[in-house]
């Protein structure tokens, strides 16, 4: 029976080519706009480490004086930690893994004569960074906690840097010059660039992109005078040349807590630590916070507001397109009243008429989905050529490919409900008399 309805639908659509084209184009434009913006929104608001995000937490303490709070409202806990607090929390070993993180713009000098130096994004961190964030390695491995304490001048480089400087060969053991100091390469990362770059928030880096070029031990990098990109002072002792003792915050801290009991224990530890610092006179208040990865991203509103606005406007446009399609289908239905009356007189039931018109709407939806997919690809191509930091992420994945046709079919069926109902209630007698 479906084949019969499909044949009737195709015949009807071919008889009204202009009207059919307008309906398909209206749906395709709405689908193209909505799926394009939804694809970008989904990519930007996704879970950067789905296999581990529930175990990753971001601790915060507040060293700011009460008369000069971190925020105007005085309610926000500072995003970053001082070196003293970060090291105190790490050395307490209250988490399964923990990594202090800072970002820096570093100068890389190739060891090949004639090659020019260039600046790249760097990460200053501690040994647990790599196992905690499940970073894949092409060659070698990360450094150890002993390397952290000994201020070893070693480095892990990204795969794209290895390709540029060493032609993709195994560069473990070779030297790379960073900020006029020689660092020994001990590892080369595979493809790894979580989106968004959650560990880079408020550290002076970009939230999206291909990832950092080089990873250095925090203490070893500081021994080589590598400076962090972000520093904020909370007291008079803010000597930027002595960051380890300065009253400045410039480090993010991530900890891995496998279970609910571990989270509860760490919250208690963090609160006790802040109270101890108040007792020591370092803090004036014992406010703390501990957020899991996804909560942290939501609280920091990582997704740009313009992307959310564009997605809302695009789905509003899709609604307008569906309403227009309803109007066109209704007009088409009214023009076919006599045909419907004849079919009813020959024995067709109301259900059969309803099904016929829904199949016709479904065919329009599938055609709109195919054309809409082309508009989506064109829209994403345009986004990739914008200067936005997330532009390179604008790619259509398999899920969105399938979702495009689901939206097209659902939109067309919704648009076809009213016309199909209107068609099935047409009384045959008046139509036969008019004929």
pLDDT, tens digit, for every residue of 115-139? 788 888 999 999 999 999 999 999 9
Q: Has residue 51 got a pLDDT over 80?
A: yes
Provide the H-helix boundaries in 281-349: 293-299, 305-335, 337-345
What residue segments make up the domains of the chain, in order of their start? 2-45+304-434, 53-299
Which of 165-174, 258-267, 269-278, 420-429 has the least mean pLDDT? 420-429
Residue 115 is given by DSSP the state: P
pTM listed for this prediction:
0.77
145 in helix, strand or coil? helix
DSSP lists the bridge partners of residue 251 as 81
Most confident listed range (100-109, 237-246, 413-422): 100-109
Q: Between the ranges 209-223, 250-264, 307-321, 401-415, where is the mean pLDDT highest?
A: 250-264
pLDDT tens digits, one per residue of 349-386: 667 677 777 777 788 888 888 888 898 889 888 888 87
How deeply is 349 buried, as exposed, middle or buried, from its count of CB atoms within 10 A (0-12, 13-18, 19+)?
A: exposed
Structure-model confidence comparison of residues 417 and 124, the more confident one: 124
- What is the pLDDT at residue 427? 54
Alpha-carbon distance of 85 to 91, in angstroms, equals 10
- Give CA angle at 303 (135, 130), nearest 5°: 10
């Amino acid at each position: 029976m479906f084949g019969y309805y499909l044949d009737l639908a195709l015949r009807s659509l071919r008889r009204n080519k202009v009207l059919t084209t307008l309906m398909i184009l209206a749906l395709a434009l709405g689908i193209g706009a909505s799926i394009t913006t939804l694809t970008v929104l989904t990519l930007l608001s996704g879970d950067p480490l789905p296999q581990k995000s529930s175990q990753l937490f971001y601790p915060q303490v507040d060293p700011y004086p009460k008369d000069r709070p971190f925020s105007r409202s005085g309610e926000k806990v500072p995003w970053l930690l001082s070196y003293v607090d970060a090291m105190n929390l790490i050395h307490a070993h209250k988490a399964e893994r923990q990594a202090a993180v800072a970002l820096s713009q570093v100068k890389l000098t190739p060891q090949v004569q004639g090659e020019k130096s260039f600046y790249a994004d760097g990460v200053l961190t501690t040994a647990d960074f790599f196992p905690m964030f499940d970073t894949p390695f092409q060659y070698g491995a990360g450094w150890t906690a002993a390397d952290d304490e000994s201020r070893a001048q070693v480095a892990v480089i990204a795969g794209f840097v290895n390709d540029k400087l060493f032609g993709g060969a195994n560069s473990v053991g070779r030297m790379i010059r960073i900020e006029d100091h020689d660092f020994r390469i001990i590892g080369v990362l595979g493809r790894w660039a979580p989106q968004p770059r959650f560990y880079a928030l408020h550290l002076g880096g970009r939230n999206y992109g291909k990832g950092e070029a080089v990873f250095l031990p925090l203490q070893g990098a500081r021994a080589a005078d590598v400076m962090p990109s972000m520093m904020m002072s909370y007291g008079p002792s803010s000597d930027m040349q002595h960051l380890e003792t300065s009253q400045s915050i410039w480090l993010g801290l991530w900890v891995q807590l496998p279970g609910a009991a571990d989270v509860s224990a760490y919250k208690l530890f963090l609160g006790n630590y802040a109270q101890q610092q108040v007792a020591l006179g370092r803090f004036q208040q014992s406010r703390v916070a501990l957020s899991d990865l996804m909560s942290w991203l939501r609280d920091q509103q990582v997704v740009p507001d313009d992307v959310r606005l564009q997605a809302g406007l695009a789905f509003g446009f899709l609604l307008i397109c569906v309403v227009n399609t309803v109007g066109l289908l209704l007009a088409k239905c009214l023009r076919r009243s006599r045909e419907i009356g004849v079919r009813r007189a020959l024995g067709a039931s109301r259900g059969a008429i309803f099904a016929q018109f829904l199949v016709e709407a479904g065919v329009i939806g599938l055609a709109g989905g195919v054309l809409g997919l082309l508009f989506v690809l064109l829209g994403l191509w345009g986004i990739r050529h914008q200067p936005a930091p997330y532009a390179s992420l604008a790619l259509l994945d398999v899920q969105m490919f399938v979702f495009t046709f689901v939206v097209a079919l659902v939109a067309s069926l919704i648009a076809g409900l009213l016309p199909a109902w209107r068609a099935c209630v047409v009384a045959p007698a008046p139509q036969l008399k008019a004929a």
